[in-house]
Amino acid sequence: MALVDGCVAYWSLDGNGTDATLRGNDLTNVGASWVPGLIGQAADCEASESDYLWCADNADLSMGDIDMTVAAWIKIETGAGIMAIVAKDHQGVAVGQDREYCLQITAGGGATFYVSGDGAAIKQAAHPDVLSNGVWYFLVGYHNAATNLIGISVNDGAFTTAAHATGIFDGGTDLWVGGRADTTHRYFDGLIDCVGIWKRVLSAAEITALYNGGAGLAYPFTTGGKGFPVLAHHWAQAFGLGM
């Protein structure tokens, strides 16, 4: 299986929000600037300026009780509380909750991936490491509908997982990169690059290929892909990752 298979949106963020898959899921930029990134350029989001990018809700970005993976490269400039990286999440109780999935940084500087099965309550997998400012990190979150697990990995490491048996709520919230569409917004402060969403669970070998020893791998992933070695610490198959 090729890495492009099942990829429903991929934003290289090379000076624009164009969806590299050509499925039309282009991001609208609200304030982010373009700076040198991990590969080419990256979106530089300033939390103090409320910068983010967004795409309207559609069938590609909505899930349900299906397999999915979200991945992104980030470099935190200022760790300032909870910061959303990729979010399809509206928590505003006053106007109704519409929560789906979110990859974010916690108040303590860790990384989490969470989903909601009912649009209100969330279940999260929290990675134990604290991420440093000024360092590129590769984050991967997944939902496995067959094993009823969600998980998160940092820099091609072992997944931290959590049980979740009710799938992902399919609501109408817009997808945001660098924040989330609710009253708190949780703006990200730093650089975001190479964001992808797949409607399948990536294998350990595919995640290793995308990480590429810390250099990343540009869409359409034509080098370093299928033949990459699986490192010993990838016991991800035990957690239900497809191989």
Of residues 192 and 182, more confidence is placed in 192
pLDDT at res. 125? 98
pLDDT tens digits for range 213-228: 999 999 999 874 333 3
Contacts of 75 (CB under 8 A, 6+ apart): 38, 42, 134, 135, 136, 137, 190, 191, 193
Kindly tell me the burial class for residue 146, based on how many C-beta atoms sit within 10 Å of its own C-beta (0-12, 13-18, 19 or more). Answer: exposed
pLDDT, average across residues 70-77: 98
pLDDT band at 93 (very low <50, low <70, confident <90, very high): low
pLDDT at 14 > cutoff 50: yes
* Assigned domain for 2 exists: no
Q: How many domains does the chain have?
A: 1
pLDDT, position 68: 98
pLDDT value of position 79: 74
Average pLDDT, the chain: 91
According to the model, what pLDDT value does residue 80 have?
Answer: 72
pTM: 0.91
User: pLDDT band at 74, cuts 50/70/90?
Assistant: very high
The CATH number linked to 31 is 2.60.120.200
Q: What pLDDT is stored for residue 86 in this prediction?
A: 98
> Which structural domain range is residue 87 located in?
7-239
Neighbours of 166 (CB within 10 A): 13
Tokens representing residue 104 in the block? 């974010």
Q: Rounded mean pLDDT of 30-46?
A: 98
Q: CB-based contacts of 184: which residues, under 8 Å, 6+ apart?
A: 82, 91
Is 219 among the domain residues? yes
Percent of the chain with pLDDT over 90: 85
Domain contains 1: no
